[in-house]
Structure formats: structure tokens, C-alpha cells
Structure 1
Amino acid sequence: MTYPLVSELAADGIPVSVSCRVLKLARQPYYRWRNAPIRDADVLRAYRINALHDAHHDDPTFGYRYLADEARRAGWRMSRRTAWKLCSQAGILSSAQRRRRGKGKKAGPPVFDDHVKRVFRADAPNRGWLTDITEHRTTTEGKLYCCAIKDVFSNRIVGYSISDRMTAKLAVDAVRNAVTRRGEVAGCILHADRGSQFRSRAMARELRLHDMVGSMGRVGAAGDNAAMESFWSLLQTNVLNQQRWTTRQELRLAIVVWIERKYHRQRAQDALGGLTPIEFEAKLTEPLTLAA
């Protein structure tokens, strides 16, 4: 904007007509600007861009459609076309669209240190949790994503979230579900890979809210989260590969039933002394309950 410059020159005694002639500006728009330096449309545009920026920071994988939805939830309504235009002008780009040649995109930097070091054991519940996201395609409705959280003490899935979108909200909802089920979790380590969902600002905020400790493995080191990968392997073999799933709801129900009924209550594990996760926790925590 050169109008402020015209005002500064006018304050120094240079006539507006001279400044506008030198700067090749029309005088009438300048006077309109002086009477209302910041238009209502400019203020609204600034607030909308700020809302889009906030949503993008929470989850960098969001495209302009999802950013428009998040901004609308924050109170700033706009069409998706307006969101696309504002995102283009402000340089707000989805990280999922930045394709690179080669084997795949490079993992982002860790926001947490590795506090697990491939030691997938704990001497009490809620000391160490593992988390990851898996996906599976349905024949008519596209992919379904599941984020699960596993307690290394008993191998129990203490929380999970299932959605048709792989966003930071998917991971945050899984943490909230686990905290609701388990109660006091202060000091618990949550270990994940370097997926953008786990590196998001929303996830870091959720961990701070519950006094939890974030942890991340190295790039390309599947063994750093091997105990969680073993659970996905079981889910793949026992549910996902059993048939072709038509709808997301059908697949969602099958995943929940297998976790809550088969895995937790019927599938005995050698690592737990031949007990199921539910039996193992009941047996190991019973002496503590009696002592209390």
C-alpha cells in the first residue's frame, strides 16, 4: 500500500496532488482510504486467513476443504472456493500434496526424544503406551483409518479411534479415549513413529494436558515400534484379510468386536503367561487392590 506514504508526505508539507501524480495514483481512492483506512472486508479476510493458519498448524496434512471446515467450526464461515483462494494467497499448502520423486516423502523431524529404546516392557499399567495408525480399503466407500494405543504392561488396547480421515484429530481422539478409560496417566510415555499426526501441535497440546511424555523412534527403523506393529499384524490376519469389506461401518464394527471380544478376552498370549490382557491385568493388579 502506497497510501500511507502519501499521508506521510502530506504531513511533511507535500501536497497530495503532487504525491499522487509522482506515484501515479488517483486521488479519489486515496481520500476514500483516508476516511476508512481499513475496510471491513480486509478485516474479515485477515480473520479468515488467521483461522486457516491455526487449522493448518494443528494438522499440516489438511487441504483447503478441511481447513474451511475447521475455520467454520471456529466461527469464521467461508465457502471452499474462498478458502482455496485465501490459502493460495497466504501460501498455506497441505503437506500431503508436496510430492517428491523417489521412494516417498521424507519423515519430518522428531518433536520428542526416544524414551523407549525398543524396551517394550513396564512394571505397572499406564507407564508406557505405544501407538500407530493403520488403514484398510473398503470396496464402496474408500479407506478406513484406525489409531490404536497399546499398554506395554499387559498388551491391552487401552484406547482407539476410527475415522475416514487420517488427521491429527484421529490420533488425539485415541489418546482421549485411552485417558477416559484408564484414569490417572500422568508420567505415562506415549511412543509413536514420526507421522505428522503424532508430531502435530494438537497432539503435543493433548499430552501436556494429561502430563504425559511423548516419545518417537528413528526414521526407517520399524523395530523402534515393533510391539505395535505386531498388533497390526494380528489385526490384518484375523480381521482385515478375512473378507472384502463393503462399507466403512461394516469394517469399523468388525475391528471393534475383534479388539474388545477376541483380542482382549479370548486370545491368550505366551508373553503374559498364557493369560489374556484382561486376565493379566486383573491378576497383577488384584494384590494392589487388596493391599489398599
Structure 2
Amino acid sequence: MKRYDKQFKEEAIQLVLNQKRPVAAVARELGVHESTLHKWINLYKKHKEDAFPGSGNLRSEDAEIRRLKKQIADLQEENAILKKATGHFRKTPEIAYKFIYQHRFKFRVEKMCQVMRVSRSGYYAWIKRPENNHKIQNRKLLEKIRDVYKISRRTYGSPRITRALKKQGITCGKNRVARLMRDNGIVGKTKRKYKATTNSKHNFPVAENLVNQNFKADRPNIVWVADITYIPTDEGWLYLAAIEDLFQRKIVGWSMDSTMTRQLTLDALRQAVQGYKPSPGLIHHSDRGSQYASYEYQQALRDNQFVTSMSRKGNCYDNACMESFFGTLKTELIYGNRFKTRAEARQAIFEYIEVFYNRIRLHLSVTR
């Protein structure tokens, strides 16, 4: 049975109490039994910050402020779509008509026709025009594409959407999916560069690179990779230490704090070991940062009979899989959002990892 640490329990409770979501729904999304989550909530209500062993406090947030922030973000997104459509959808009148039809419940048809530079009479004539079989099939496929795109939190591009559709038994070519997405303004989020957090200027011993950029495993808990990144908030940096299993591309351990310390990485390791109970001989790969090379962290690896592997100095490709995860996290969640507090960022990252990334998101590098 998987064991959950204090951080996991606290963040799970926040999903119920702060967001006022049903216990059953949150439990299902996190893969936790409903009665277990009820037990955690009751313990917290009775004992507050002393409900679970360890340190850290739950922080409440104003639900009304969160609702208004979401509403503002939605309006900004709609405005951005309309601005983009001004140039993109003027290529042909029919594409403009499609956009207007799809957004007719969000914006006035008259205003959209003005922005798109098409006539209202032409738009209404297009609506009355009967669809041929090809258009009907494209429309149905587009609905499926939009469903997958929504589930992916608007992050999937055409390759992942095509793959998701085929898993549902829907036959479609990647070029057709890409064209429908392009014509209807459905675009997956792209990655940005970000600053490294590795400090390899220390006197701790370093280990040999056993992984050597071979980021594959034939079963779970054979190779784990670890790294640290940072997330900006109005209160200051929030640091995230994470451990990924190479077989599943799943985050098996994580920890967040306001400082980048050895304890941050030790907490992530402890969570991974408690939750997945790997056998001796597991390869633990990381960069040469002082947090991972420290005596305390290396002793924890020895206590679990893990084998240490470290990237070569100054070679970011030696830990590319974790760089990829952090890039995905920032592209799909962090960029475009502003977190007022570290607690707000913690909640969003927790939900992204435990609900979406580990359980829903398709990972193209995982082949079965």
C-alpha cells in the first residue's frame, strides 16, 4: 500500500477545503480512497497544523478572490484569441465564419464580423448552406480534438492529440489533425528556456555517470533521476525538488520550500522511497549540485542501497529528462500565470503533478 507524507496530505486537503471541491472527486483524481481523504480532513479540522507528523502549515485562501482571478484570466484569454483571429482568420471567409460560429455564445456576431472583415449576410448564408459528408466528418473529428485539447489543459500539439485519438479508436492522420487544429486556432503551448539551479562548486565527492544519456528502463524503480527548479511568486522564489522514474516518466517524489537546501532534496527522496519502496540496486541519477553530493544525501542513498550516478560537469544533456519535465511544467502551468503567494503556487504544482501529469498526460517518450 502506498504511503503518503505530510506534504501530500496537506495539499490534498487544500484541494477540498480551499477550492470547495467534492471529497469523492478529489480522491478519485489523486488515486486515494475516499474514506482515507475524509480521515485526513477530519484530523486536520481537529488538530490543525499538528494533524500530521512533520513541519508546515496549511494556508487558507479567499475563494471569492480565486474565482475573480479565474474570471479575469478567462476574459484575457478570450481577448487574446480574438486579437489573433484578426489576422489568422482573414485568409478565407469560410475560416472566419467557422470562428464566428464557434464563438457566437461568447461574442456578438456583429462585432466579430467587423473584426474579421466579413459580412453578416455572408455569415448567415454560410450557416444555411448544407454540409457535405467530408465537412460533417471534419466537424465531428474537430469536436473530438477539442475534447482531448481541453483534457490536456490546452497543452497538447497535433502529435499528442493524434496519439490520444488513436487510443480512443478514432482513425485519423496526423496531417489532418494538424490542419484542423491550425485552421481553428488550436495550438499547444511551446517551451521556453530557463536558468539552471546547479551549484557544483563544492568539495563533496562526485559519482560516475552510469546513465550516460540512456534515459530508458525496462521496468519501474530501476532508474530514478532527480533535479531542482524554481518558480517565481510575489512572495519570492518557490523551489521544487523532483524525482522521476524513467520507465513510467512519472514523478515519484517531490518537495517544495522557500529555500533550496539539502532538506528539500531529502524530503523528495523520502517521499519517493515511502511511496514506491524500490529494491536495492536502483540507480539514482542527478547533477553534481551540492544538495545531491552532500554527505547527508549520499548517506540516505547508501541506507537504501541505491547506486549513485551523476551528470558530467556543465553537461545539461546528461539530465535531459528532468530538464524536459521542468520545461513542460513551466510551459503548461507556470508561464502565463502569476502566483501571489508560495502557497498558491504549491497548490497549483501539486495538482498539476498528482492529478494531471502522473495520471492523465500522455508522454510521447513512453512506448509500450
TM, length-normalised to structure 1: 0.56
Asked whether the 8 Å contact 2:211–2:309 carries over to 1, the reply is: yes
User: Which residue number in structure 2 is paired with residue 147 of structure 1?
Assistant: 241
User: Which residue number in structure 2 is paired with residue 17 of structure 1?
Assistant: none
Quick one: percent identity of the two aligned structures? 41
Task: Show CA shifts across 1:8-52 (max 9, x none).
Answer: xxxxxxxxxxxxxxxxxxxxxxxxxxxxxxxxxxxxxxxxxxxxx
User: Which residue number in structure 2 is paired with residue 277 of structure 1?
Assistant: none
For residues 346 and 305 of structure 2, the distance between their equivalents in structure 1, rounded to whole angstroms, comes to 30
Instruction: Confirm or deny that 1:269 pairs with 2:363.
Output: yes
User: Which residue number in structure 1 is paired with residue 341 of structure 2?
Assistant: 247
User: Which residue number in structure 2 is paired with residue 187 of structure 1?
Assistant: 281
Instruction: Confirm or deny that 1:126 pairs with 2:241.
Output: no
Q: CA deviation at 1:231?
A: 0.2
Q: How does 1:50-199 map to 2 (within 5 A)?
A: 107-108=201-202, 110-139=205-234, 141-199=235-293
Asked whether the 8 Å contact 1:179–1:185 carries over to 2, the reply is: no
Q: Which runs of 5+ in 2 are unaligned?
A: 1-197
Q: CA deviation at 1:105?
A: 7.1
- DSSP-derived class of the 2:351 partner: helix
Q: CA deviation at 1:106?
A: 5.9
With over 3 angstroms needed to count, the CA separation of the structure-2 counterparts of 1:161 and 1:182, relative to structure 1, is same
User: Which residue number in structure 1 is paired with residue 125 of structure 2?
Assistant: none
Letter in 1 for 2:206: V
User: Computing the radius of gyration over CA atoms, which structure comes out larger, 1 or 2?
Assistant: 1
User: Which residue number in structure 1 is paired with residue 190 of structure 2?
Assistant: none
Letter in 2 for 1:123: D
Letter in 2 for 1:216: M
Q: CA deviation at 1:250?
A: 0.3
- DSSP-derived class of the 1:175 partner: helix
User: Which residue number in structure 2 is paired with residue 227 of structure 1?
Assistant: 321
Letter in 1 for 2:214: V
User: Which residue number in structure 1 is paired with residue 310 of structure 2?
Assistant: 216
Q: Which runs of 5+ in 1 are unaligned?
A: 1-103, 274-279, 281-292
User: Which residue number in structure 1 is paired with residue 297 of structure 2?
Assistant: 203
With over 3 angstroms needed to count, the CA separation of the structure-2 counterparts of 1:241 and 1:112, relative to structure 1, is same
- DSSP-derived class of the 2:265 partner: helix
With over 3 angstroms needed to count, the CA separation of the structure-2 counterparts of 1:105 and 1:166, relative to structure 1, is closer
**For structure 1, which segment, 260-269 or 222-231, has the greater mean C-alpha deviation from structure 2 after superposition?**
260-269
- DSSP-derived class of the 1:271 partner: coil
User: Which residue number in structure 1 is paired with residue 80 of structure 2?
Assistant: none
- DSSP-derived class of the 2:229 partner: strand
Q: CA deviation at 1:186?
A: 1.2
Letter in 2 for 1:202: E
Q: CA deviation at 1:158?
A: 0.5
RMSD between superposed Cα atoms in Å? 1.7
TM, length-normalised to structure 2: 0.45
With over 3 angstroms needed to count, the CA separation of the structure-2 counterparts of 1:173 and 1:198, relative to structure 1, is same
For residues 200 and 258 of structure 2, the distance between their equivalents in structure 1, rounded to whole angstroms, comes to 24
For residues 307 and 200 of structure 2, the distance between their equivalents in structure 1, rounded to whole angstroms, comes to 25
User: Which residue number in structure 2 is paired with residue 3 of structure 1?
Assistant: none
Asked whether the 8 Å contact 1:107–1:219 carries over to 2, the reply is: no
For residues 202 and 220 of structure 1, the distance between their equivalents in structure 2, rounded to whole angstroms, comes to 23
